[in-house]
Amino acid sequence: MLKSMRKNMQALKPILWFVVAAFIISIFFIWGASGKLGEGGGGNTLAVVGRQKISGDDYFQALRNRLEALKSQYKEIDKAFIEQLNVPQQVLEQLVEQALLLDKAKELRLQTTDAELRDRITALPGLQQNGKFVGYEAYKRALQYNHIKVGDFENGLRQDIILTKMVQLLTAGLAVTPEEVWANYQKTNDSAKIETLILETSKVTLDKAPEPAEVQAYFEAHKDGYKIPEKREGVAVFLKTEDLKKEIELSDKDIEKYYEANQARFVNPETVKAGRIWLPSAGKDKALVEAEARNVLDRLRKGGDFAGLAKEFSKDAKAADGGDYGLYDWKSLPQAEQDEINRLAAGQTSDLVAETDGIAIIRVTEKMAATTTPLAGAKAQIRTILLDEKARELAGSRIAKIEKEAKSAKSLEAVLKKSNLKAESTGLLKSGEAWGENDPSGAVSSALFGLKEKEISAPLYTFAGVGLAELRKIEAPRPATFDEVKANVETDLTNERKKEKALAVLTGVKARLTDKNWEDLAAKNNLEIKTVDTHKREQYIAVIGESKQADDLAFTLPLNQAGEPFAFETGYALLRVLDRKESTRAEFEKTKETETEQVLGMKKNKFLQAYLAKLRTDKGVKIKYDKFLTITQDILSRYETTK
């Protein structure tokens, strides 16, 4: 399930030139603005990217906003969920990518004119009414309503324009062929209703385990596949923040001081949830559409179910969801409808809202005014934040002192003895391999792979604390001996034999299959049967995963005919196609222009990712991981008790 969520999170990352506006403006969207990206004050600097700076406030606002968006998608999230999805690192990385592009744009002297800014403001979708800009007074009121300063918002838009220019400059020479566009159209639009019979190796039993001689023979036949990667060993010291918290004393004055200095962080913004019923009038008699809308409104006022009537009458993208525009999506509606939402109280329904192309009926389902958590209610949270912050500072200062002395003495172990601290052996580790409970993320092992023998690392920051490591030994990659990988070889041989048996079972089943006995044979042979109503090319299939063989069969087999058994990572499967929808060139021609833009967009995005990777190396990125972890823990502490 977590793997699926991570895939969904990747899907949340839009194409870069669409994200530049959305992400910069998202810093302002809910919580207000901290300032212009790249102008963080010295003491508030979280990262330096070339000549650009990312402030701690930029990161704080962006992460907090991303988490609110996640809450709207997953309803309930907690600290563990956020960390498993790696959200903080994703947000920081996106800020770094934008800073890289801004730095390059500055180098190329790209600028934004006042005319370009004016054009961007007047074209914003949320500021349109009847196809026209709502006017600067309404624009300023909209920003004021969302607690956004005009100057801050327009600085963000200026950056968006510069980033857009930068992307256009970099990708101007890219093109796509008609064949690429047609192939992508097929991938997007072709679908098949498929049924699979699945036998996983975990459900296969062998009569006996492999004999030792068979395991040895298997190793000899597959010796090239068993290698010991490079490993490194060091000694390390690690100071846990949880242990250091015992040394810290906090007074009420400390808590009050933090509260006063960070009051904006305890503001809970107004929350508004709205629904919409939309009756389009394009190509219809407007009087009849208005009569129908009036009828719907009358039924609502007599107690009719809004969601049910939306599903019956509404004709927009949210109709199937009962017209629910949630906490955020309503902000994309035309300004007249947004004005109604801002005016209505919770539970109220608007009159008919006439637009040039239809009529809307709006209902506000929830509305809670902005509030500030009082000091008394924030004390426990502030205590958690301050303890973590001060413990991390204490760990950092102690490690910095040890680092300085150890590098001077050219021995970490010698300095630790003087400090009554013990150097721990890391044992041989692969790059990125976790080092016990202190370092599940693999920061220590990754650091060892960047050192020379006897060299001492810089401080290593993890969620658990701060450490320091010295490289002692490098073990070069080499072929494995049988004894070193005996258990793995036995497992591999066992799995191979189970897959052979699974193949034999499914081959036998295929010989007896008819159109009507799939369920019967599945039950008799302990097979799992799964139906996918709409499978598309390269789409994940439950249990099987992403499979080119499954795709090939799904789009080539005659209907209701089982293909040959095919292997997937953990077993074998049989597949038949119950129905299929295939694209036609005539349909393709209708949307060819849009499809071309989409495929070109994907190609540009791929190019930009490669360009950014190189730019990152050329310009250098310095991140204050202690500050990153402190801010992250500050925000995540708010999700400790979410269930």
pLDDT tens profile 286-314: 899 999 999 999 999 999 999 999 999 99
- Give the per-residue pLDDT at 24: 41
Residue 341 included in any domain = yes
- Give the per-residue pLDDT at 641: 57
- Give the per-residue pLDDT at 75: 66
For residues 519 and 529, is the Cβ–Cβ distance under 8 A?
yes
Residue 253 included in any domain = yes
Residue 574 makes CB contacts below 8 A (sequence gap 6+) with: 196, 197, 506, 509, 510, 513, 562, 563, 565
Last residue of a domain, one of 340, 369, 398: 369
Query: Do 504 and 575 fall into the same domain?
Result: yes
**CATH value at residue 289:** 3.10.50.40
Residue 240 included in any domain = yes
Last residue of a domain, one of 301, 334, 369: 369
Residue 99 included in any domain = yes
Query: Do 86 and 133 fall into the same domain?
Result: yes
Residue 38 included in any domain = yes
- Order of strands, edge to edge, in the sheet holding 460-461? 424-425, 231-240, 465-475, 460-461
- Give the per-residue pLDDT at 573: 96
**Amino acid in position 201:** T
The Cα–Cα gap between 104 and 458 comes to 29
Query: Do 140 and 49 fall into the same domain?
Result: yes
Residue 487 buriedness (CB in 10 A; 0-12 / 13-18 / 19+): exposed
**CATH value at residue 429:** 3.10.50
Query: Do 308 and 204 fall into the same domain?
Result: no
Domain count, the chain: 4
Query: Do 473 and 487 fall into the same domain?
Result: no
Cα 239-240-246 angle, rounded to 5 deg:
110
Query: Do 459 and 498 fall into the same domain?
Result: no
Torsion of CA 228, 234, 240, 244, to 10 degrees: 170
Query: Do 6 and 149 fall into the same domain?
Result: yes
The Cα–Cα gap between 413 and 365 comes to 64
Work out the angle between the directed axes of helices 252-261 and 375-409 (0-180°, nearest 10): 100
Q: Which residues of the chain have pLDDT under 70?
A: 1-43, 75, 146, 641-643
Query: Do 243 and 156 fall into the same domain?
Result: no
Query: Do 258 and 217 fall into the same domain?
Result: no
For residues 572 and 510, is the Cβ–Cβ distance under 8 A?
no
For residue 463, the enclosing domain spans 231-262+378-479
Residue 329 buriedness (CB in 10 A; 0-12 / 13-18 / 19+): middle
- Give the per-residue pLDDT at 642: 43
Residue 593 included in any domain = no
Residue 185 included in any domain = no
Query: Do 41 and 125 fall into the same domain?
Result: yes
pLDDT tens sequence across 117-143? 999 888 887 777 777 888 888 888 878
Query: Do 287 and 343 fall into the same domain?
Result: yes
Last residue of a domain, one of 331, 351, 369: 369
Query: Do 475 and 488 fall into the same domain?
Result: no
